[in-house]
Amino acid sequence: MEKALYNPGKLDRGILMDPRTKLLLLITVTTFALGGAGGRRCENLVPVLCMAPFLLLFTAKRFKTAIIGIILFWGSSTLLTFANAHNMGGFLYYIILGSCGVLGRFLPCIMMGRYLMESTTVSEFTKAMKKLHVSDNIIIPLSVMFRFFPTVIDEADSISCAMKMRGISIGGKHASKMVEYRMVPLMTCCVNIGEELSAAALTRGLGGEVKRTNICKIGFHVQDFIAISLCLVPWILLIVDVVK
Amino acid sequence: MDGVMTQKKTNEKLGGKDLINIGIYAAIYCVIMTAVSMLGFIPIMMPMLSVLCPLIGGITMMLFYTKVKKFGMITIITIIIGAYLWITGMGYWPFVFGIVCGLAADFVAKSGNYLSKKKTVLSHAIMNVTIFGCFLPLYLDINGYFSSRTSFGSDYVEALTRIFRPWTAPVILACCFVFGVLGALLGMHFLKKHFEKAGIV
């Protein structure tokens, strides 16, 4: 993964949006495109919502991520249609179904999550949560979690490489030891990194008694209003549906 | 006397270090959960999530429980896990379950002063009922759920409908609970075998 992922603040980020709008978009996409709320009424809106993350990645100048995402999305849906049209059966069909199902369904949400992470700095995120009047007890763990995700994934990748070399993987010689031999090193190194992280954060005054200030400027602009109005459509349809 | 009282009060409040710990363990748990959940796309494996998540997550959680000394930490981590499940598309039920189960688990652990082993095991089992929240929509509105999942192909839907008969709901709930207990025991075993030796407990 590129370094830009963890440090979006220093780069040209294209059109900026309020983190609250991004959160609303994320929740809308997961609820309607992935969770399938709203049923038939919202069916026509789902493709629009699925394409939204890719468009947003373009506006944030994340061309590489966006293009990879579009190719994967398009490829998986083509393969799925192909498999359905040829009436394939058996094991191979399940594999295609499984892998394409994962991609087609989750990709918009994953891309939306990527967009949220790549285009928002942790301090912007904190400020947005503060403005939503979320308690500090939730904000601090959440921002630590956002910061820590890439580290955990990175460590897990390295451990998995090392263990594959020793035959501890699915289909390897010692597959039964997988859980123990992967979990224990992962936990150990993550806990150690975490200790250092918390020492660093405490040095910078996290968890002090005083109220923390934030210099980030966030607010709603034209692009936010367009995105919010797009998000409101399926919600209104859902509410109308429920009230009926 | 007054000074002692105020000191005790500030000790009860969650400090920065506690909150950072919550974030770190939540991140590890969520990564593991995501890795396990990917198995859910093989139809047979979907109910197995209620087995694997508590079992493997137990290792992380037992390590987390050793850091818990104050009320609220278990509640917050369960809410965060529920919110994470919501964001990754399991619907809002895990979030609702997270608040309720997290509070219940916290009260159970508190009654043992966060030291009692039996209470810790029970608390972990209650916490894992959150995972049942992912499956709840399947039983509440079975046709609605599948009408939106036709893009997965009719075979997938058929396989799932065969698995999710109404009587399986209590079984899955029980699975979450029982494997929560087993996961906690496994975690404690690992704690003794590895982590205490490595000096990170």
Please name the residues between 80 and 119 in chain B that touch chain A, using a CB distance below 8 Å. Answer: 80, 86-92
How far is residue A175 from each of residues A42, A164, A168, measured CA to CA in Å? 44, 10, 5
Q: What's the pLDDT at B3?
A: 47
pLDDT tens-digit readout, B50-95? 888 888 889 999 999 998 888 889 999 999 998 888 776 566 778 8
pLDDT tens-digit readout, B88-108? 656 677 888 999 999 999 999
Q: Look up tokens 């990175």; give the residue.
A: A154
Better pLDDT: A101 or B32: B32
Q: What's the pLDDT at B69?
A: 85
**Closest among B91, B147, B83 to A34, alpha carbons compared:** B91
Please report the ipTM that was assigned to this predicted complex: 0.77
Q: What's the pLDDT at A58?
A: 86
Which own/partner contact pairs does A203-206 have at CB distance under 8 Å and 24+ positions apart?
A: A206/A140, A206/B16, A206/B20
Residue B136 touches chain A, beta carbons under 8 Å? no
Better pLDDT: B126 or B149: B126
Better pLDDT: B139 or B4: B139
Q: What's the pLDDT at B79?
A: 92
A8/A31 Cα distance (integer angstroms) = 27
Q: What's the pLDDT at B103?
A: 94
A93/A54 Cα distance (integer angstroms) = 28
Domain boundaries, chain B: 16-198
Nearest CA in chain A to B77: A141
Contact residues, chain B, for A151 at CB < 8 Å: 27
Domain boundaries, chain A: 11-120+218-244, 122-215
Query: Measured in Å, how far apart are chain B's first and last C-alpha atoms?
Result: 33
Contact residues, chain B, for A93 at CB < 8 Å: 153, 155
Better pLDDT: A54 or B140: A54
Look at A113 and B87 and tell me if their CB atoms are within 8 Å. yes
Contact residues, chain B, for A187 at CB < 8 Å: 28, 59-60, 63, 195
Which fold would CATH assign to domain B16-198?
Arp2/3 complex 21 kDa subunit ARPC3 (1.10.1760)
Q: What's the pLDDT at A1?
A: 36
Q: What's the pLDDT at A6?
A: 46
The pTM score is 0.78
Say whether pLDDT at B1 is over 50.
Answer: no
Residue A224, classed as helix, strand or coil, is: helix
Q: What's the pLDDT at A4?
A: 41
Nearest CA in chain B to A99: B41
Better pLDDT: B111 or B157: B111
Per-run averaged pLDDT (10 residues), chain A, 244 residues: 45 76 85 66 75 85 84 82 70 67 71 79 84 86 84 89 83 73 88 88 78 82 89 85 77
Look at A188 and B23 and tell me if their CB atoms are within 8 Å. no
A184/A159 Cα distance (integer angstroms) = 10
Contact residues, chain A, for B31 at CB < 8 Å: 149, 152-153, 156
pLDDT tens-digit readout, B175-200? 889 999 999 999 999 888 888 887 77
Q: What's the pLDDT at A3?
A: 41
Most confident of A81-85, B4-8, B33-37, B67-71: B67-71
CA distance B2 to chain A (A): 20
